[in-house]
Structure formats: C-alpha cells, structure tokens
Chain A
Amino acid sequence: MIYHSSSIAIGIFVTFVGLVLGLSFYLGRKAKSAQGYYTAHGEIHWFVNGVAFAGDYLSAASFLGICGMIAFYGYDGFLYSIGYLAGWVVALFVVAEPLKRLGKFTFADALDKQFNSRGIKLTAAISTLVVSIFYLIPQMVGAGALVKPLLGFTHVQGVLLVGVVVVTIVVTAGMVSTTWVQFIKGSLLVLFCGVLVAMILGRGLSTHTGHNFRTLRADAFADDPEVMILPATGPWKDKPFVRVQNKASGRVSVWRKDKGGLTETQTVTEVEDLTTHTKKKLVNGLPQGEGPGQATLLPVGTISKLPGGKTETGSLSVPEFFSTLSESEIVLWGNDKITEKTGARTVQTTVYYQKLTPGKDVLVPGMSPTFSGLQKDAFYPKLDFLSLMLALFCGTASLPHILIRYYTVKDESAVRKSTVVGIASIGFFYVLTLFLGLGAMTGGTLDVTNTNMAAPLLARSFGEIPFAIISAIAFTTVLGTVSGLIMAASGAVAHDILTNFFQLDMADHNKVRAGKWVAVLVGIIAMVLGVLFEKMNVSFLVGWAFNVAASANLPALVMLLFWKRTTKQGITWAIVVGMVSSLAWILLSGETYKNVYGLDPALSLVKFSQPAIVTIPLGFLTLVVASLLTRPANKPAVA
C-alpha cells in the first residue's frame, strides 16, 4: 500500500514527542548520581511505577504484533495476550519481593548477593544484554512500521528516528525520565485503546467495508478476445492460479481457482536482472504508484456474509460482537510466493489471495501458520504450542527491563502494590487486543503485506485524528519499552561488568557517564537490527526473547530462592547453558531457516521452533548437577 501523511497526524505526533522529550530534559536535572540514574533513588510512587510497568511491558509486540496477528489469523494472536499476562502471576507471587530484598541496581545484584562471584556477575550481565537486544529488535521493527504511514518516512528513517529519540531520553535522565515516559505512555495506550474498542462496538459489523474484490465464472476468460491465458508452466504448474495477460497493455493479472469460480487476487512482483543488478517492482501487474498506468495494493479485511442475510448490524454488545462474528463469513487473506528463474532474470511473485472463512474458525486457536498444528493430530506442532506458552508464562519474570523496575520503589509493600496495578492495567489492555484485532480484521483497512500495521490502520478507518493519536501513542509505546531495555543493558555493562566484574574504581559520575555511553552503543545496535529484521511479525520475535529470558534467567532465580544447596557455579552454569541452548535452538529452527536465512524449513535441525519446553528444564538440571558437584564439603552452599 502507499501511505500518505497528513498535517494533522504530523502535528499531533510532533506535539506528543516534543512533550515527552521536554519532560525528559526537565527530569534530567535530578539524575546526577548512579542511584538516581539507574533506580530513580527508589523514590517512584507505587501507583506510578505500576502504570509504568504497563508502559514498559506493553511493547510494540503487544500493540502492533498481537493486533496484527489477530487481524490476519484470529484467536491465535490472543494466545500471546493470555501468555504475556499469565507471566505476571509468576512475577508477583514468586519473584518480585525476594528480588527487591536481594538487589540494588540490577538482576545480577540479586543473583550474586550471597556469593560475591565474578562468574555470576559476568554471565548475568551477558544474559541481560542478550535478552535486551533480542527484545529490542521487534521494538525497532515496530517503530519503522509505524512511522511509514504516519510521516511518510521509509522503514530505515523510522528506525533511526526512534533510535535517536530514545537514546536522547535515556542519556538525559536515566530511570526517572524513563519511568515518566512509560507512565504517560501506559496510561494513554490503555485509555485510547478503550475508546477505540467502544468505537468498534458502536460501529458494529458490516458487509460494506473495504474494496469489493471480484469473483468470475471459471470460464470467464476462455472466449475473451482481448486477453490470453498464460500457460501454467514451471513453478506455476501445480498452483491454483490462472494468469491472464491483456493483449494490448501486456498487464498480467492473477486469479485463484475456487469452488465458486475465479477470485481476484493481488500480486507483488519483484524482477531482478542478475547481469545489471537492477530491480523492478510491479503491483497487480503494473509499476507501483498512483498515476496513470500504475497500481497500488488495495486495503483488505471484510465480512462477506452476516447472519440472517443482514448487511450491517448497528452497535453491538460484547457477547453480540462475538456471537455475530462466529455466525458470519469473513474474507481472510493468504499468500503464496512463486519464484521463476529465466536466464539472467529472477522473478518473484507474491500472490495474495482471498480465503472465505467461517467466523467460528477465527475464534478458536489454530488458524495461523504458527499454531495450525493444534487442529491436527500432529505431535511436534502441539509441542511447539506448549513450549511457547511455557516461555511466555516463565519469561516475564525473567525480563531484565521488568526486573529493574522493582528497584525504583521504596520497599516490598510498594513492589507488591505496583505489580498489582501493573496486572490490572496490562490485563485490561490484553482484553482490548481481541476487539482491536477482530475490528481490524473486519474493518476493510488492512495492508496485506504488513501484519504490524493493523491497529493504526484500524484507527484510520475512524478518521485522521484517531489515527494520528493512536500512531503517536504507539510511537511512545516503542519509546517507553526501548528506553527501559536500553536502561537495563546500560546497567548490565556499566554496573555489573565494568564496576563489579572488572572492578574498575569509578567515581559515581563516571559510572553514570559509562552507562550513558553504553546506552548510545546499544541504541546503535538496535537500529541496525531493526533495519535487518523489517519483514518479521514483531510478536513472533518477542516470543524468542521470552524463550531466551526464561531459559537463561528463571532457573537461576527460582533455585536461588527455593533451594538451599544452590552454589555460585550452579547459577553461573545454569545461565550459560540456558542462554546458549535456547539461542542455538532458535538459530537452528525451521522458522529461522524460512524467515531469516531464506532456506527450506524442512532442512532445519530441530523439529519445533520454540525451545523453552526443553531449555528451561535443561537450565534447572544444569543448576542442580553443577551445585551438587561443587557443594562445599562441610556446609550447605547457601546459608
């Protein structure tokens, strides 16, 4: 799709970002000491911290990724909502208060308090860095996706803009400004998404939304003298498509053979000349653009049939919204990539085609490629699902940028209360994601090429102002989460590695300065990765971050709290084995083969993509074995 920026959208966006930056500079005056920079002196009020938890946690993955996944595949995206929230139960009931008692600045402080081990300091800091960078990738990808329609920027420009703004926020004031940015963002995100859901229910469901794609008789082109049907040869041979070329213009359109006849598709064709290394992009058989002789992708996402033959429902209550959808017929969109090599040319055509889907099918798990195995009797896909749900459950309590927020309030009681406020805000938001995603699915505004844009484009269906507000909030969503992650990474390097591991004797202001330089460096790494991973669904990428966090950090944290024989070697090895095994598993998985390396997923070395179900128990086992082997002779390892 071609996006146009509007002056209203730009005005609201610039005001928003300006206010956030102004607040950051104002609060920056307070952060002169290391304690102020990393933990805001422990002076944050529990309610503000609780909403800031929501601002920190409701990342681009939650807002853009989940809504996009629900909009394209239905209930499967909501599985992420359920898993993300469930993880907070582990955080509140098991981890929060002990972590507050044990730590000072970082997660490594808590793990290391009873041991004073350089091994724990180093491995915990590296684990924090790895998880933070993994989690940063989807945030930056989300930022690039957002800025494109809002300001008319390219993906690269969007990523650079976020990177520069976030690094400015973190470098100016550390945890104080980060907390307030997250508080503002968390409040506004939940509030405006609530308003958007009320608008969705008020509008109801209709069969009039979006472009009306054509369905023709199966023999519609057989006797048409103006066109010729191209032979189904090469990679087109076994595909359910008919290619039709207009004799006068040479334009090729692709139609899908369905039971009802031929349905209209949309295509994106990339032609690469291998001798001149030039590329050309065609959309629906014409150069991409809006001028004469050009074409652009059309927005999708419609209901083809409502129950009782109605064409619109009017406003709906919550139960009516779901029951009406389940009795409707919805047009979802699939895609098929077809690559032809002829001489010195490579032609890759992506065909986006309609899939008429009963509404009841989008309200149960199993429609997306990730979870499609749930509806079949296949063992590994089901294991993959269980593994992801386990990673989401265990991952939250292991995320470094969440854990450091326990040090910004004064005591355990404040930790408890702020976590409950966080659960209330986050839980309410996750309920809203289902309505937002289904609203986008049926609102006629989706971009078939980009799942991450579903929520902002849904807002656009209500007008430019809701679109501008939601986009600006989504942008601050990215700012809030990215600043939290960069803070965590900065603390890991400056406090855990430089001060504690290398034992550099740094004055307080030098420690803060080192943290700021690390923030700049991590920001640059995040920008580079955000450009490289542009095409991947952000929710899927966050799933990986949860896997690594849960595998590397949770066994060490839980066993330290509940097993008295835990030794420093046990903790060190559990972190190393959990981190390396989960990373290796992800890099060797079919999903990575397909989406990152561009290889056939069947060639992958592991049978399912989500490692947690193997690597979390492996982390626990490593800790137990290493602790038993290194137990001091005469006394328990931990008093």
Chain B
Amino acid sequence: MAPAPTPSSPTRIQRNARYGLILFVVYLALYAGFMAVSVLGPREMAVPVLFGMNLAIVYGFVLIVAALVLALVYMALCSRPMPEASSEESQQ
C-alpha cells in the first residue's frame, strides 16, 4: 500500500507559493546579471576577481552554489509552522 500523503492547507500552499516566487525572482536577477555581462561586457569576464580566478569562473560557480543555497532556504521556510493555522492543520 502507498503511504498516506500529507495534505497541505490552502493557506500553507499560498504561503509556500509566495516564498517560491520571491526566491525565484532573486535567482532570476542573478541569472539575468550573468547573461547581461556575457552579452554587454564580455571582456569583463576575463578580469581576475578572486584568488586569480576570473569573473566568468567565479560567477558561474556562484550561480550553481546560489541555486542550492536558495533551495535550502526555501525548504527551511516551507517547513516553518503556520502560526494562525496550526490548529486548522492539526485537525486534518
């Protein structure tokens, strides 16, 4: 038998969706920044910025690490209890 799914309340769904959209916009800005530098100032990508590594390498790694960091932030935010709806959820 499949384990019983844990249902989410509508308020929790809305709250999580809001967190998701905010974090999505943060990452989108980072990603758009990378594309903008690549297109508008490609020579800037060759400039060493950290321990002899150039901007292209550092920015690329930052985009990968940022995706994981934001994903962990999202998971932490979504697992926070709903203050006003805790009683509602406990009844489900």
Contacts and interface: CB of A to CB of B under 8 A. Distances in A.
Contacts of A93: 20-21, 23-24, 27, 70, 74
B24 A427 contact: no
B24 A94 contact: yes
Interface string A345-387: 0000000000000001001111000000011000000100110
Interface string B6-43: 11100001001100110110010001001100110010
A629 to B, nearest CB: 28
B54 A360 contact: yes
Which label, helix, strand, loop or mixed, suits the secondary structure of the A interface?
helix
A434 interface: yes
Nearest to B40: A382
A601 B3 CA distance: 56
B51 to A, nearest CB: 4
Contacts of A326: 48, 52, 54
Nearest to A375: B42
Interface stretch (A78-86, A144-152, A233-241, A332-340): A78-86
A382 B41 CA distance: 12
B67 interface: yes
B5 A410 contact: yes
A195 to B, nearest CB: 20
B85 interface: no
Interface stretch (A12-20, A415-423, A447-455, A617-625): A415-423
A323 B31 contact: no
B82 interface: no
B24 A431 contact: no
B54 A364 contact: yes
Given A82-B63, A85-B63, A424-B68, A374 B34 contact: no
Interface string A79-115: 0011001101110111001100100000000000000
A250 to B, nearest CB: 47
Interface in B57-89: 57, 60-61, 63-65, 67-68, 70-72, 74-75, 78-79
Given A322-B54, A323-B48, A364-B46, A43 B3 contact: yes
A419 B70 CA distance: 12
B51 A410 contact: no
A312 interface: no
B20 A92 contact: yes
A410 B3 contact: yes
Contact of B78 (A375, A393, A416): A416
Contact of B64 (A374, A393, A431): A431
Contacts of B78: 413, 416
Contact of B31 (A41, A86, A101): A86
Contact of A92 (B4, B39, B48, B74): B74
A99 to B, nearest CB: 12
A90 B31 CA distance: 12
Given A82-B60, A360-B46, A385-B38, 9 more contacts: A82-B64, A97-B13, A319-B50, A363-B46, A363-B57, A410-B4, A411-B5, A413-B79, A417-B75
22 contacts: A35-B2, A42-B2, A75-B56, A82-B63, A85-B64, A86-B63, A89-B31, A89-B70, A92-B71, A97-B16, A322-B57, A323-B51, A323-B52, A326-B54, A364-B42, A364-B46, A364-B56, A374-B42, A411-B8, A413-B8, A413-B78, A423-B67
Interface of A: 35, 41-43, 75, 78, 81-82, 85-86, 88-90, 92-94, 97-98, 101, 319-320, 322-323, 326, 360, 363-366, 374-375, 382, 385-386, 389, 393, 410-413, 416-417, 419-420, 423-424, 427, 430-431, 434
Closest 8 CB pairs of A and B: A323-B52, A319-B51, A93-B20, A411-B5, A93-B24, A364-B45, A420-B71, A411-B6
